[in-house]
Amino acid sequence: MKLYLVAGEASGDARGAELIRSLRAQREGIEVLGFGGPQMAALAAPDAVHDWIGRAAVIGIIDVVKNYGYFSRQFAIALKEIAREQPDAVVLIDYPGFNLRLAAALKKAGSRAKVIDYISPQVWAWNRGRIPGMARKLDLMICIFPFEKPLYEQSGLKTVFAGHPMLDSLAEKRIETPREQNLLGLFPGSREREVKRIFPVMLEAARILAQTRPMLRIEAAAASEAMRERMEEIARHTPGVSCEIVVKSAHALMQRATAGMVASGTATLEAAYFGLPFVLLYKAAWLTFLIGRRLVKVQWLGMPNILAGREMVREFLQEGAQPATISAALAPLLDNPQAREAFQADLRSVVAKLGAPGGSARAAEAILAELTGP
pLDDT digit string, tens, across residues 201-248: 999 999 999 999 999 999 999 989 999 999 999 999 888 899 999 998
Asked whether the predicted pLDDT for residue 345 surpasses 60, the reply is: yes
Please, which residues have CB within 8 angstroms of residue 18's CB and are 6 or more apart in sequence? 165, 168, 169, 360
- pTM of the full predicted structure? 0.80
Query: What count of other Cβ atoms lies within 10 Å of the Cβ of residue 271?
Result: 28
- What value does the mean pLDDT take over residues 53-57? 79
- What value does the mean pLDDT take over residues 69-88? 95
Render pLDDT for 285-310 as a digit per residue (tens, 0 to 9): 656 666 566 656 667 888 999 899 89
Q: Using CB atoms within 10 Å of the CB of residue 237, give its burial: 0 to 12 exposed, 13 to 18 middle, 19+ buried.
A: exposed
Which residue ranges form the domains of the chain, and what is each CATH number?
Answer: 2-165+358-372 (3.40.50.2000), 183-352 (3.40.50.2000)
The gap from C-alpha 243 to its chain's centroid, in whole angstroms, comes to 26
pLDDT of residue 181: 93
- What value does the mean pLDDT take over residues 174-193? 92
Going by their DSSP bridges, the two strands 183-187 and 159-161 should be labelled as unpaired
CA distances from 204 to 191, 218, 242, 322 (A): 20, 12, 11, 9
pLDDT of residue 124: 60
Cα first-last separation, the chain = 17
